[in-house]
Structure formats: structure tokens, C-alpha cells
Chain A
Amino acid sequence: MQFPGFERTSSSFRDPDGFILKKEGIYHRFLPSTYLPIYQLLVESGLYQQLTSEGLLIKHEETDRFNNGLLITPEQIPFISYPYEWSFQQLKDAALLTLNIQYKAIEKGLSLKDASAYNVQFIGSNPVFIDTSSFEPFEQQLPWKAYGQFCQHFLSPLVLMAKKDLRLGNLLSTYIEGIPLDLTVKLLPFSSRFNFGLLTHLYWHAKAITQFQHKHTAVKNNPKINSFSKQKHLHFIQHLLGVINSLAPVKQKTVWDDYYQNHNYTNTSISFKKAWIQSCIARIKSPIKFAWDMGANDGTFSMIPAEKGIYTIAMDFDRNAVNEHCKKLNQLAKPYISNLLPLVIDVLNPSAGIGWNNEEKSGIFLRGKPDLIMAMALIHHLVQGINLSFDKLAAFFYEHTQTYLLIEFIGEDDSQWKKLNMNRGNLFNWYNEENFKTAFLKHFDIVNVTPIPDSARTLYMFRRK
């Protein structure tokens, strides 16, 4: 199918019932005429109205009608994120959203034909289901087709993060189809078998998949598969909801989860930095829409641009810190919630393109450039971590910010730097403020420099040349 003027996105090809087109930076969804009777059912059953009014499904407008289908334009997502970048809390919220939609869909005579975690996106802290063409008519006798997919995409990673280690959430970037259940049960502690929910939906389920893997049974019109009533479906979803609801992240100590408590930050220096960031943002006269806070930890500083209406991505590689940030946001009222998206991103190994031709899920740097990057107390860790030079760091920030950079320089006399550098000999003898400035001034102009009182730290506001 050709759509003059539109670009078909490389990630949208799996579902024949709808695909994404892009024109002038706006994303649209094309529904072919074969899918339109089901789309009508979604609208006429009242399910679309119910789900969108409850904020569960993305709203759209019918933009254009073609001979071969309908073009709808959904509300735009400010920043696309993927399940491997979500904290435990975010993945759990996305799982509950999917099950709630399935429950309400069954009640209205529809069902989700897939339960991919990639069908959910976040607008700030709010998960929303974005795949309007995921619905199909509910068929009484058939079990839920997407049950296996739901368990691989949601249950497996959540249980691994709840029972074993939060870092196992990173497996989702390796397994784009979700974490195989047989792998999950191998990684789980033995005690997980004593939980009936996990025993049924993971252990026995994994066994059944292996058992029946060579038995290709037709599901449609099979006289043996005719006993799955609507009530059974609803009970099944209710049970899964209970299992997901009962999961909580494993309690583990990570490097960064109490960073602000254990490091040489006094309340005064945190307040000083907050006031400085506020003054920098107030200085910017041109409208800025989008910011990244890199190494954001629990979002202490990310809230400042978000409060000013700037859509802010708070990135940190520590899953515990990001999860705490999400929990904190869930307790707050808007506007933080709609403007601030915490994500698990490792600055030293940022999300790359994955899937077919490495194009299905794009790398983090292809999803929109921020107008402003914040890097508070970050670069000394990057220097120590992988021996990054100031030249490399300056070039990195120059490449990724559209205009501004707020960055904190930790001097070589800082106690934290000395502690990290204790056993490194002369490896970082080039690390000083003069060399920092020389490297950054090749790409940026200084807008403001403010030393933090009683410390060896300096705050720089740069503008891209």
C-alpha cells in the first residue's frame, strides 16, 4: 500500500490490522478496510468511549477516509519509551492497565488479540494503551490467545524483579518477545513454587509450553476447545490481576538508592543547586519544551523543569532509584505526573535499536533531542567509570542537546572525587577545571558560572555554539 506524503515507520509491520504512518512529525494510524467492522464494534459497543474517558486508551480523531481504509490521528506521545527502560512500578502499572482493558473489553464483547508490553506508553507517570487496532470480537469458546504473550512480556520480568533481582528487568531488551517462561523458572528461587499464582501462571504454564510445543492444535472450531465461557475468561483475568497486584520489588541495596543520604550533600547545597537550576530556567527566554536529566537518581532536580511545564525525562541506570522516583511521583498530584517521565537509562550504555534490522525499537537518541540537558554530579562518575575524556564528554553533550546544558563540575579537591580516585594513581592527573573549561568552550558558550559555597564544586550553564 502506498501513502503519498506519509512515511511508514520501520517498527510498524507486525499487525496487519493497523500500522503507523508519519507525516510532518505527526504520527497517524492506518486501519485497513478489513479491520473497519471491528473498529466500528469498538466504537459502537461504547468500549472506546469508556476506555478513553477513564484514560486507559489513547484518544484519537478520524482524520481521513480512503477507499482502502481509515486514517486516525491519536493524541501524540511526548516521548516514546520501552519496557526495558521502565522501573518495576511502571511495568506493573502497564500490566494492570492491559488486564483492566481486557476485562472491560470482554464485558463489552471484545478482547485483546495481543498483550504486548509495547502496546503501552507513558505520558509522564500515566500509562496509556496506544494500540487501537489490538481489539477483536470476543469469541465465547476460545481461551485468551494473548495469555502466553502476557506472561512473557509482563509476568516473567515482574516476578524476576520481585523474587530475585531488579536488574533482571534488563533481560527485556534481549528478549523482545518477552522473557521465555522456562528461563524465568530456572532463575527464580525454589521458594517461588509455593506461591499458587506463580505455580500456575509460570511453573506449570512453562511446563505446558514445553509439553505441547510440537503439538500444533487448531484453536478455531476444535470440538475439544469449546468450554471457555465468558465467566471463565473474567475469572481468569481477575486471577491474573490478583497475582500482578501482589508483586512488590525485591528489597535490595543498590549503589545509588540512598545517594543523597550517604554522600556529602547537605540540605543547604541541595537547596542551592535547586535555586540555581530555577534561575537558569528563568533566564531562558525562548520557549523550551523538552529536557533530559541525566543521572537523575530519584528525580530531586528533575522536578524543577517539570514544574515549569517542560516535559522532562529523568534518566538513571539504577532500577531501585528510578522505582523510588516513580513511587514518589504516584503520590504527587499533577502537573508533575504529566510532565515527568523517569526511565532506566545507563548513560554509559544507552538503549540501542533492537528487533528486526535493529529498527523495531529505536535507540534512545533517535527519539527526539532535548532543548536542555541537565547533568548534576554526573561527569566525574563517567570519567572514573570508563576513562572518558573532557573532549569526549563535551562532544557528547554538544551532539545531544539542542541548546542548553546545565552541568556540575566536581573539582579534584572534592572529597567524593578523592574517595573515588584513591586507588587510581596518576590516571586522572588531567582532571581539573581548566581542562574541563577548555574542552567545553570548543562547543559551548558560558551563560553562567556559579561555585557552590564551601565546596570544590562549580555549576555551569552552557549554550550550544
Chain B
Amino acid sequence: MLMEYLLAGLGQLFTFENILLMSIGVVIGLFVGAMPGLTVTLGVALVLPFTFGLDSLSGIILLTGVYCAGTYAGAITAILINTPGTPSSVTTAWDGYPLTNQGQASGALRIALYSSVIGGLISGIFLMLFAPPQIAKIALQFGPPEMFTLTFLGLTVIARVSGTSPPIKGLISAAFGLLFASVGIDLVSGVSRFNFGMNFLNAGLNIIPACIGLFAIAEVFYQIERRRKIFIQDMPDHSDTPSNVSWKDLFKHKLLLLKSSIIGVGVGAIPGTGGSVASFIAYDEAKRTSKKPELFGKGSYEGIIASESSNNGITGGSLIPTFTLGIPGTSSAAIFLGALMIHGLTPGPDLFRFQGELIYTVFIGFFIINIIMLFLGFFASKWAINILKIPNSILYPVILAFCIIGGYAIIGTLTGVGVSLFFGVIGYLMLKNGYPPAPMVIALILGPKVEESLRQSLILSSGDISIFFTRPISVLFIIIVVLTTVLPLIRGKKLLNFFRKRK
């Protein structure tokens, strides 16, 4: 069955149209990833409306291209100008920029690209082999209590997706997200909630206009306030010797490469942990086990390998819970989830039962995208600096135009633009006051599932909450909730100390 799917998938992907779409996705991803201030999430949200006119496969591989390439591209500016394009490239800058100062920018860029591609490919293997059969089969046995404890697990993640913000602010953001998710007709009783007399709110708030507002319009407002004209005026003048770094040099560190990629996959598969956590852990681990730890922070190739392979290992890892359980691993994955639903696909075990061929084709596409990224990444490292010279007064108005058309296209009425603008204002105020938007997005997605499964469970047990403690899978999730809440606190403290030392 698997082989049939794979062969059919290969046939579907190797068409001119799909190769072109994957390449376009990679180019857009390289652009948004390389621009400090533009995030991968923003890129995926803005490209999503362009998938409406495409079939499901073409739309999803286009988004996958943006996601994978955007995750890598942060390394380019991290290495060249010490400005990470994405938060997960911070550790790449620690060693990449010193290498640039030593005239080895080309070598650093090449090793970052190779490591990212290998990290992405390894995560693709995990995504293909481990996600569907095991997790999806278990998910088939889920009733409302299991679904509640699972979605509750997704919600406990929320404090951890707060980034540098205090966990309390993450929880407040999530609580508002759950409240926004409750807008519309209550599915259990049929009662309308918080519609304020506006009929369009009875259908609930659509997740995609909300994401466009929270991540893109908010960023436009923020940049208008900052009034920075351009990211860089001129490229810093560093003498650069042509790179003689090859695959051989990379494979000298094959164990480090494998270990860091697996760290990326593992961390990515735990909802809410994110790329920056994976790269910090992998960097820390690489330094601990290196024969030359003194080089870390002064221009170590090992540091770049660990950071970039773990960073791209996240991409496949975060899609595992998204596809199999419908729980987004990162904010980008949350938009992926929205994209799947827009294209009529229901994430979870049914996705593999009824859309197996499509999903396996997407998985193969994941590999091809990483290979395309290898070729286009070479060009990107040369022109990335030039895109930083685009004036903000051109870039952000154009992004705003994409936001508005995206908000409109999702519903086909101006209410979508209104919802995007509403969330844009909220996102801007949150950004200004240190409230992270990612917990709000995850809560918006999980909210209806949490409430529905909780109420169905309590109806089944006539209000007795012991139903959650008497079913094995439900108990397992409760144990995981406790473990995943306590362990990161310990590990986080260690990482925080490590990060403070770096500062």
C-alpha cells in the first residue's frame, strides 16, 4: 500500500506545474526567511490565499516550500550581517558572523545550507515512517475523553510558545484565543455566542484572517511605528575567500549532524516548543561533546551544523502532530492546519484513511522541496543581501496589500478584511506590550475541539470528571501533560542560564 502511494505520489509531483510551484514556494520562503522582521509564519499566512484556486496537493506543496525554505533562510543574514532572519537562527549567528569576519562567509553559508538540507531530509524520513502508521492508528481509538485530554495537552503547550514573553502573558493570550474561538453558534446546544447582533459572527471567527491580522498586519503597524527606512544601508565590507567547503567536510561531522537533526525532529514533534528551543539544545549539546569547544562562539563549523540541522529538523517534526492528531506544533503548523481544512481535509487519523495518497505525495514533496532548496539556496546566499536594501516604505505597503486580498479571498466578503484588521490591531497592541500572538492562534484552533470534547465527555459520564482518569489513553495524556509541563521548566532554566551567559 505504502509503495503504491509513493509511486503514485512521484508521478503526480514530477509535473512541470508542481515542480514550478515547489520552486516558487522555496523562493518566497527564502525571501521571507532572509528578511529580519518577516517570519516564516507570516510568509505561510500570506501565501495561503494564493492556494485557493489550486488543487489540494499543489496548494499544500506550495506552502511546504515556503515553510522549509523560510526556516533555513534566516541563516543567511545571521551569517552575513549578524542579524538572524528567524529567531531559530540566533545560534547560527554566534558562529556564522565570526566566520564572516575571518573571511570565510562562503564556507559558513555553504555548511549552513548543507546542514539545513540534511536536517530537512532526516525530518522528512521521520515524518514519512513514524507519523502515519503508529500515531494515526492509536488516534482511531479516541473518544471524547481522549480527545479532550489530547487537546488539553496541546493547550498546556501554550505557555511554552510564549518565546521571551513571561508565561503569564502567554496564558492571557491563550485565554483570549479560547474566548475568540467560542464566538459563533455553540455546537452542543445550538446557542449563539458573542455575535453582538452581527450575523456573520454566527459562523465563528475564521482562523486564517485572524492569522493574517495577528502576524502580518500587526507587523506592518509595528514597522510603521518604528519608521526604519531600510534594514541595511550597505553590506559590511569583509574580504571573503572562495569556499573550499564540501560535502566531505560536512560528513566528517555525520554523528553531530544526525544527532542535531533528531533533536530537531523530537523537539518539533512536541507541540509548541519551536525552532529556537531545538537550536539552543542542539548547540548546547554540540559544544558539550565537541573536541574543540573553545571554538564555539568564535567561528565553529560544528556550531553552525548543530544549529541549522536541528532548526530544519523541526520542519518535518512539527508536521507529525499536525497531520496525525490535528494539533499544531508551531504557529506556522497552525496555519498549515487551517490550510488543510480549507482544502477540505480533516487532520487526524481519517486523513491517512481517506486521503492517504495525497498525504504521502505531500511527504515525497517534502523531500523534493529540500533538494530544490539546495540549488536555490546557493543563489539566495548571493542575492539575499540585496533584498535587505528594499525600502520598508515599499515592502510593507505591498505586504499590506497581500494581507487585505488574503483576508478578502478567504471568505469572499469584506468581513474577512474586517476580521483581519481587528486581529491586526490586537496583534499590534500585543507586540507592543510583550504578549505573544502564537498562543492565541493555537488556542483559536484547539478551542472548539477542547470545549466540544469536554462537554461530550461530561454528558457521557453525567457530569462525573473521573471519566478522564479511568481510560488508559486519557490517563497517558494526563501524565504527558504533567511531564511536559515540569521538564521544560527544568530544562528551560538551564537554557536561560546558558543564554544569559552568552549575552
A interacts with B? no
A residues lining the B interface (CB < 8 Å):
none
